[in-house]
Structure 1
Amino acid sequence: MERRKLGTIFIILIIITFNFLFCHINSNRVTQKNSQIAPNGPEAVLVPKIFAWDSQITQSVGDKPLSIAMGDVNNDGELDIVTANNNSDSISILLWNITAGDWVAHNRSVSSGPCAVAVGDANNDGFFDIVAANNHSNEVTILLWNYTFQDWNSSSQVVGNQPCAVCIEDANNDGLNEIVVTNYADDTVSIFTYNLSYRNWNPEITVNVGDGPIAVGIGDANNDGLNEIVTANRMDSEVSILQWNETDTIWNPAINKSVGNNPSALAIGDGNNDGKIDILTANSNDNSVTILQWNTTAEDWDTITKPVGNQPSSIAVGDVNSDGQNDLVAANYGDANISILSWNAIDENWDLTTKSVNMGPISVIIGDLSNNGLMDIATANSLANTVSILPWNTTRGDLAPQRIIRSVQAYPSDVAIGDANNDGEIDIVAATLNDENISVLCWNETLNDWNPELTLNVSYIPTSVYIGDANNDGAQDIVACRSTLTSTNVSIILWNDTKNYWDPYVTRNISDFSGWDVIVADANNDGANDIVVANKWQAKFSLLLWNKTQKNWNPLINRTLNGVPYQIEVADVNNDGFNDLVAAGNFSTTASVWIRLWNSSKGEWDDDSNITISTSLPQFTPALAVGDANNDGRNDLVLTDKNGDNVVILCWNDTLETWNSPISNSVEEDPISVDIGDVNNDGQNDIITSNEGTGKVSVLLWNANTSDWDPRIDYAAGNDPRSVITGDVTGDGMHDITVANFQDATISVLMFNRYPWISSRASIQSDPVWVQNEDFGSFSINFTGFETDADEEKINLTWGISVLDLNRLQSFVTVSGSFSSNDTLTFYSVENASGTDTFWLRLKDRHGMQDMIQINITVNPVNDIPIILSKEDIQDNSIWVQTMDVSSFTINLTDYEFDVEDNKSALNWFVRGLDSKIATVEGENSTEKILTFYPQGRGTDTFLLILIDSEGGTDNLTLTLTINPSLGRILALVIPLAVGGAVACILIFFWKRHKAYRDRYLKALEIIQKGESLKK
């Protein structure tokens, strides 16, 4: 019975012990989690997240506009124009109306004497504002755009003495715009930095500059990546450059650089297209612009000076002719025009042209003012109270910018064009004063060029030459004459069809003295050509009339003039159907035209029709042209006014049967020759002069819309151009300009070139290739099928691109093949880059003429997910097995993260699915990349470690965390059990010993009992 009790007690103790241990350990739950569980909360969303200028347009503004600026002043996405009107204490705002395609004028009052205006985000709120510098009140007026009320709020800031220029840019390189003003009388600039916290400007900072700062600009003038402040100082003819000192956060003392005399304006930009920012000034006293070009090697500026017009008052830099190259524009106050210095990439220099504007142009800007994607030019005209806008036009033809030059004998004084060698091609013949010969350039259709120069002998050194059928045999001949007291004849070089060459010259006596000018034409209206000479020594027309019967010239006849002729024409000047004799020259103190009209009834020139038209011009040697100058179907007279730098146009009036009053049009200096012809091949006659004083030709194009001549366009011709003529000398069906350059001993040809044309424009623009996804690799597009040009073969046409901001485009795509011969452009992706930009696709011919269209290219972003590196190392880390004795443990994940798009600061770590009864975590979404775990209870759990990038892309890793009981608790359980077990064992041992003794006792007792029985 006792044995059973002891066994029962022992078994109960064992069962209790094992049940306690089993239940305690298995009280920790084990839960498996889905490996796709994502972070939650708003900060951890895992959803993954695009050429030529038209006639000027004038707009009236306030009284005496002194400054012009452009910008989207009403923040509607369209560029507008603003002028500062000095006399009316106002600014004029010309807002672009996209519906009307025109500007709508508004005026705003400012303080006294506004002399400068700037447009920019003055208060750094993302909207454009207007700031005017007021010279009389010594303050600036600030018009801040109020987006809510769609209007400007006005305030002012006091500045120094006589503020005369203002600029809005980031002057101190802090990412915020400042207002910078020049104070002319103080020799300082006032700088207003903006305080975003107080939403106002900090107190004025003043910095010393040179003497009489009259203009200011802000830009990276020394190409160090930081903006500088630059002023043009009128009184010391210098510019002051204020360099920003990043260390001391202040401007260093001014660096001064000499420029031209009396600089009146300043611009900062890449003037010579070398990728470096330059400083440019307009110098009013020496009629020049100074270009300070940055020299990277010397780390200093090199100086270049270029002449412009009279009293240049403003300078601007920009791509005015839409060829992808920056150009320079100067406003010439004294000439009422602008000088355009177009960059010539071949010569690496500037080509100079001029365009007329209104009186007193004092400020000029370049920008897309008509909001059509093309750069325009605008001037503020202080004497006319207007703004002149010259829109760029890419749809019409123009003269090729590169003239063709061919050498001839020395001192060419006259040029003629015609089929001199009777091969069906137009040739060029020049009279040269070097020797007793003429120069002949014959066109070679096969070579598409002129053959080498030929020289033909004449009797005297020639001053005039003409091509015509002198002997009426159907072949063109050459006639030359010389104006000297000793030369008494003309040289006639007849074409010989049999020899296919010219016979030696023959001569005919024309007077006791030779002539100044010669022409071949039907002077006596009998259907046969005659030879007519201007005899300046005897004031006569000298005529060699052709005798059809004798097939020779009749004896010389003369017809008197009322003056000394220098140039003659045979033409129907009174529009009666008969040729007349016309001469231009001077008599007494005025230049005149003398006319002998043909009388068809008498078959002779009327004596009483010896008409003199006095031009009321000073005495000079005029040039003469007869033709339909105003395109009304009637011949007119055009003369050059050499002293006044004009052409004088006498238009025929059918009603009055005489000429209208003279019309004058400005040309370049010292016009010495004139012609009438369709220079721009638009079906309308134009006027062209060669100008001895400047080496240029001036072109007055007829404008059919206005029934007037557009302001002149000037083109470089050569040194001392003496004679000009229009006609197709290059065999392309287009009229060209041919000029004899006296000092250069050259003939220059300005070819007319029609613009090439991009066909199927919409098809190109809508091509799906212009939308790509990030890292697309490359794509190519061939444009051969989209090009046409009336003047060129396709082999001469090339394609390329240009953009306003090349860095922006190249940030996500690069291009190869621009202007190559295969018409193929290849676009390459930039790794992990995306963006949207607009660029110009350009079709260019060999002369630089081009057509262009805008292309929008988009590279869509594609998120590259982040990557957790060394996942096994993280999983095998021993930190994932802990005991309850540990209060916390950490892991630094900095070295385990990677993303091709984001830097590490944009990557974040999260934990999802961890049972908070096992452990909690801190440090998620932190820049330190350290996660800290706090054990909460015993057990094992599986959770996700997640890496997320800025666009929601993720990578994850499954981890198992085990938290074991603490050692103290285990010992607290084990020791009692061990003691209990030992006691139980002792009890069992003693119980067993007791049982053995008992059994032995009982057995012995039994034996004893049995033995006693036996004894008994």
Structure 2
Amino acid sequence: MYRLVSKCGLNFKPTAQKPIEYKHGPRSVAIGDFDNDSVLDMVIANHIANNIAVYLGKGDGSFRNPIIYSTGSYSSPYMVTVADFNNDNRLDIAVANFGTNNVGIFYGFENGSFASQIELSTGSSRPIAIIAVDFNNDSLLDIATANYGTHSISIFYGYGQGNFSPPITYSTGYDSLPSSLAAGDFNNDNYLDLAIANYGTNNVGVLFGNSNKTFDKQITFSTGLSSHPYSIAVGHFHTDNFLDIAIANSGTRKIGVLSNNGNGTFANQATYSSGSASPYAIAVGDFNQDNRLDIVITNNGIENIGVLLGYENGHFENPIMYSTGSYSSISVAIGDLNKDHRLDIVIVNNDTGSIDILLGYFEGFLNQTTYSAGSFSASVAVGDFNNDTRLDIVVANTNSNDVSVLLGNGNGSFENQTRYSAGSGSRSVVVGDFNNDIQLDIIVANYYSNDVSVLLGNGNGSFENQTRYSTGSSPASVVVGDFNNDTRLDIIVANYYSNDVSVLLGNRNGSFGNQTRYLAGFWPRCVAIGDFNNDTRLDIVVANWYSNDVSVLLGNGNGSFENQRRYSAGSFPASVVVGDFNNDTRLDIVVANYYSNDVSVLLGNGNGSFEYQTRYGAGSYPASVIVGDFNNDTRLDIVVANSRSNDVSVLLGHGNGSFENQTMYSAGSGPQSVVVGDFNNDTRLDIVVANSGSNDVSVLLQYNRGAIAYKMAYASGGGSSLQCLVIGDFNDDTNLDIVLANYGTNNIGVLVGYGNGSFENQMMLSTGANSHPISVAVGDFNGDRVLDIALGNNGTKHADMMLGNGKGKFAIQTSYKIGFDSPPLVMASGDFNNDKRSEIVIANGGSNHVDIFVAYNHGSFENQRRYSAGSWPQSVVVGDFNNDTRLDIVVANSRSNDVSVLLGNGNGSFENQSRYSAGSYPASVVVSDFNNDIRLDIVVANAGSNDVSVLLGNGNGSFEHQRRYSAGSYPASVVVGDFNNDTQLDIVVANTNSNDVSVLLGNGNGSFENQTMYSAGSWPESVVVGDFNNDIWLDIVVTNSVSNDVNVLLGYNNIVFVKQMILETGNNSRPQSLVISDFNNDGLMDIGLVNSRAHNIGIFLGYGDISFGNQITYSTYPYLYPCSMAVGDFNNDTRVDIVFASCESDSVGIVLGYENGSFGNQMMYPTRSNSSGYSLAAEDINNDTILDIVVANHDTNYLGVLLGQGNGTFASIILFPLEYRSHPFSIVIGDFNNDRKLDVAIANNGTDSLNILLQTC
């Protein structure tokens, strides 16, 4: 018996929905503010998907996910424009629907959404281009379309309320193939005319508009044989008030310009080559902000766009090309997308299906041009001395006792100097009209002759002989203003050695009265003026060199001033200027701090008081500061002259009182003074620097090229130009997931599978600007049994790695890039050496081989003893450097650029120092054995030279010559540890100015690999290490003083810190000191810190999985500005307690901990008036098994000890005097003489010394 059995054939069925659908066919872009938030949005016409996509802007050049609106089945929208068609003050959208022969109108709802499409028929014509203008001057917008197939244009007149007339059609000629439209009044008759790019007949047609809703017959202007004009734009390219036309000639690969003759005709076309590319789309705008229109073109056949800068005479520079990564960019729109007052560009790429955003940016300054001045050029000022409307320069020359006048030519160049005698030690110069003759005069502060010189100007660039007026001792800075409201300029001088300012009131004839003096701080070095309390009276601010502050003296309006108020600045403030940095109409202050290599910004309250400073990194030894709007965004920026690093720093302002990180430009030798002005009349501020070392001035003219840079790419389908995909289980749920390479949008997409054939929406991971990923492989590259991703990028010719965490998340390893000469086209992975880690095999398109890459895994104290160190000791540590079981000391000397080693004698005394060279401005030092020879070595972080020095120890207390390894910008803190568990010590450095940390892996022989850098927050100042997630791999914690947070970087077994966690400490909190401890006795590490500006202590309790709870804060109020902290068990309850020092309230606070990680109320102990406890430690000083507290009182020059009682309370402070003006700022504790009593080593930045205090009982 036989039975038939049905046979199952192989068969597949598609899922109900495609997980990825990229084929949208973007073809056109338009921009406008659709939701009335003053931020530009964009709309894209997708001709394949038959829809438009609306992207609402975020205001930073990026956009939200698109909202899709259908244009109808088979509509194939070709072009989109925006306008308010129904006069409701809301932008609407009009679309040329090529496929369905109509115009679609989407009316806007003000919130960024739109009504469904309303259609206007174009009859048998297929609209290919569309514009919206008012042709008949009735204040109602009309629509014009260029029509394919019928070789015509159609006009729809608006009737109001969004209604339109039937189309009126005008022929453009047989086989004309009109492809683009532009409107303008070409004959100045107050009626708009229409210009048409006729692709087929190689010309531009113009239809002149009449008053009766009609147009004259088309007049054509040739664009050249086989030119095939594809796109046109109009603008005023001359200064004659006649509209001109710019054309993208795709056939001849040229940009054409038709100049208007003013009578309805145009001159013969002028052309500019676009090279090997065919220009497609064209637009005009002022990209370099010189009030002259420029042209931007998109190209077909080459992956870039071009910008042609205009000269205002109808001529243009040859195009400057910018890469897009697309070989066919079909549409362009321009506008200010990120509200920085610069034009940005949106491009539609029809080959990759992506939308590129390119943002305009401040390009900086040209290389300096130098002009000779006198000896030791110390100060510079600008003004028009010969009344030719061109800015000139005057320089004060200290050593030659004169001033140099350099007359400007108006093009950024200057004539040779003319010298005029001044007093002895000409230190500062300022200009003004002191005798009311409308001619600029000069005033010079003479440092050695204790007076000011007045040189009256003749108006032709020459000056009369000086007249001198007495001041205080060593006048270092001079400014002028009307301080008694008599319309006559007066003089203010900062007197360095008499610690005051002199006021000399003007007499209108160029003479001045006797000085009146007012106290300032210690060694006032610079003075500036402004109305700080909004009473229309000028006030004074003085930078006090030695007291590290600024003095504010409020003016009474009669030439007298109130007593000073002082505000802290950085270390040795050298220069001060004023400006409104947060746009609140209140003047603020910026100070250049010479020895702390930064600037302090103090925001004004409008009543003459100021907020606490915020500091930003500058170059080495900043000597002068000035402000101005350099990038024309209406926000004040800062320029600093750095005297040691021979450059200037530019810090761009955000308009809210904060600033970008510095960009540096070379100047001459020893720049001492900086001013700004427009020296070449291009409406951009330029820089002039007085260089004391090279006896000249540097002129840095601002670039004026309208630079743009790639920002990001978008696509209606999320990604575009899918190149490669692989599968794997990335989240360990036993369901297969997908990873794919999105070439067009420069990212990879991860789709997590549900196990039923469907997937989550794709998660995008950026691969970087213009990277264009083309190949992908997956494998376990770091041996953690979790799948990772390797990718090959066609654009950058790099192979990159993204490490997985087993939960479907990935972190890109930006520091591990493999470069190739040709794109890595094919990639695969496998374990070829049985080490349980995957290797990568790559085939390159330009080579005949494959590459294989392998993955790698109390009491009293006797009087102090002082020992000389180098100049400005900044950091100190102890260790046994000569293996005699006695502790020795090493000190990092920041100003002498070396380290001091003091060998201990075992009785608390030390030998004289031995000095060893380090890098520039060593800021932090640690010791350990880096070459496994059982001898301690030294590593120093050099803030000035951006590197670390490694000095290998010889075991006898001497050290080898340093070896230097590059770090980031301004490395301020260094620690060591074994980060890759290879038993060899590695180095980690916190880089303040570059906002990152550097990891240098040790080889075990005293050498180190090149740094790997990981992003941190803003201004990282301190770094510590520990294992925060109990995975036996060291992790990193960084405190960031400007971004007010701490960062946790988790270590993995491939030595890469792949996860950065930002722990927010609050806005403007300024975390200043950091400890790691177990505050809640759960066996997991927690983080504690003091937030100086927020006046609190912050605790982050650790969960043991690399994450932390939200910050719990404990106020230190009324004790302000906590600046240092330590932990210990002060009441013997096995719970961690906290001690903190208040730098403003002259006290230390004790906060006792509870077992759950919370803390009780604070108990305060005074440390003496004006003490400023910069550093403290908790140790058992008197060997009673009870913790005590040691504090360094910086301002009063004392060491303080508070003896613990064992119950959480402490005895009153015991003070041990240090030398006058020693200013102790850092302490370490250890038994230096082996008597089992703890001693104290103190670093003093006031006397450049190190103190040892030995305990006697």
Q: TM-score, normalised by structure 1?
A: 0.41
Bigger Rg, which one = 1
The structure whose residues are more often helix, as a share, is 1
Q: Which has the higher contact order (CA 8 A, sep 6+)?
A: 1
Q: TM-score, normalised by structure 2?
A: 0.34
